[in-house]
Structure 1
């Protein structure tokens, strides 16, 4: 069972996964050994599954960022799924409900690469694209508001 301190640890680590344990301990008002023990417990229980570098796609030349909504026919759904799992330009892919059956976030280096990617989606069925013009908020995972955390 997690408590409000565990959620605070998760919140801080999502913002800075490289924060020194001494600084984390000060921010949550615990001793350093107690903080380390809590982080290790969160890791052991599979709550924290890893640490990674978060890369800004625009800074490495991936300037064509978009959402692609697709409706793949039943016959082509498996082929489409394999494609989105293998193409490095597809950052995230989801099966969704509603008018479309799939939603993908893609990042391409230029217009030619983007059009090449879209050509593949044309083979799977209907698609629509929405260019990302501004990132208003990015979080890896939402945490419950403090008032919803049971002690």
Structure 2
């Protein structure tokens, strides 16, 4: 199954609101509800659609700081870090990258003290650099921007 123009339209609808009904998506893209359901099922089976999630505002649930932290891992510390980072609740995203740093993470923290405590957990794995996020310019950009 290829991701044809109709599939891209369905994906765009789902990315805007994954809770809308297949009938509503069908009206938006010009096909029947059963046809939408079948296309979505096929895209799920093929791994094109990998899941659905609820977006929660960290700010509204008490996390006042959003930060980007990079780590330049010490010799022999990268693999242990890659295992332990999965247990850190503060980490929203973690990427292994090229360049001087090995890791870049997006984290949410309650306050400055929480940031300090979190960095203290990281410094045994490598040198850290922290930037505080002021605002989000592009939020959850839909993947169809790259088609």
Q: Which TM-score applies when normalising by structure 2?
A: 0.92
Give the deviation of 1:79 after TM superposition.
Answer: 2.2
- The answer to whether 1:12 aligns with 2:32 is no
Match in the other structure for 1:51: 52
Give the deviation of 1:101 after TM superposition.
Answer: 0.9
Partners in 2 of 1:86 and 1:55 — Cα distance? 19
Q: Once structures 1 and 2 are overlaid, which stretch shifts more, 36-45 or 18-27?
A: 36-45
Match in the other structure for 1:96: 97
Partners in 2 of 1:66 and 1:34 — Cα distance? 43
Q: CA distance change for structure 1 residues 141 and 95 in 2, over 3 Å: closer, same or farther?
A: farther
Q: Once structures 1 and 2 are overlaid, which stretch shifts more, 21-30 or 39-48?
A: 39-48
Partners in 1 of 2:142 and 2:75 — Cα distance? 31
The 3-state SS of whatever aligns with 1:143 is: helix
Give the deviation of 1:4 after TM superposition.
Answer: 0.7
Match in the other structure for 1:126: 127
Contact 2:91/2:108 (CA < 8 Å) preserved in 1?
A: yes
Match in the other structure for 2:117: 116
Structure 2 stretches of 5 or more lacking a match? none
Give the deviation of 1:141 after TM superposition.
Answer: 5.4
Partners in 2 of 1:74 and 1:142 — Cα distance? 36
The 3-state SS of whatever aligns with 1:123 is: coil
Structure 1 stretches of 5 or more lacking a match? none
Match in the other structure for 1:36: 37
Partners in 2 of 1:101 and 1:89 — Cα distance? 19
Partners in 2 of 1:134 and 1:90 — Cα distance? 18
Q: CA distance change for structure 1 residues 102 and 143 in 2, over 3 Å: closer, same or farther?
A: same
Partners in 1 of 2:141 and 2:54 — Cα distance? 12
Give the deviation of 1:144 after TM superposition.
Answer: 4.7
Q: Which TM-score applies when normalising by structure 1?
A: 0.89
Partners in 2 of 1:116 and 1:53 — Cα distance? 28
Contact 2:12/2:142 (CA < 8 Å) preserved in 1?
A: no
**Aligned pairs, number:** 146
Match in the other structure for 1:23: 24
